[in-house]
Amino acid sequence: MSYFLFLSILLFLFWFLFLFLSHTTRKEQLIMSLAGLILSPAILLVSLGSVQVAGGSVVGIGIEDFLFSFSFFGIAAVIYQAILGKHMKPWKGKKSIFIHPVAHWFLHLIIVLAVWIILSLSFVILLSLSSPHAFAMGGLLIGTYVIAHRHDLFFNAIISGVMVMILLFVLEQIFFFRLSGGEAAVTETILSSVSTEELVWSWVVGFAIGPLYEYLRHQKLV
């Protein structure tokens, strides 16, 4: 089994665990996962196109890419609330341009994620940044914009990024520990195999995705 498929399956198992255990965040998790699934081709082509993992590049779009994007978006959106036991309450109302409010804010979600992709592509083309670096820059701008308008979501963004980064780090260690046959002698090799670029990328995604639902739905965490 390839590294990325193994990681995607493990990530989905954690996604299912969050869905099963955290009743208050199920709606948010499912909606944000759906958003990740819809936009996964564009997101993955920009963000993972040149990430070196397990001695090779992630190329093309396969079922594992969709599974990874679906699971990662859902987990990043709810990990802060689910682990720390936070709940949401209305913060500010805003006039909807649609009859159904869900259509209103979901459209805004798609627009925000599309802006993230456009920013990333612009950094690649104009500044000649690598795909992961460009995606990280775009995510930082999106996350910074959110917390600049909603200071109460600052810790949500920061801690979501840290938690997602730790989760991916642990899952990678499980893969390399399994690959090595569990030999303690290869500990240094296992740890050195983790890319700092991947960890930064995962933190940025958590930083940007973590507070997006509350920001767009005008909800406050308590």
Per-residue confidence (pLDDT) for residue 94, from 0 to 100: 57
Domain residue spans of the chain: 3-221
- Distance (Å, rounded) from C-alpha 80 to C-alpha 85? 8
Percent of the chain's residues with pLDDT above 90? 35
Query: In sequence order, what E strands does the chain have?
Result: 52-53, 56-57, 88-90, 219-221
pLDDT at position 15 is 96
Q: What is the pLDDT of residue 52?
A: 39
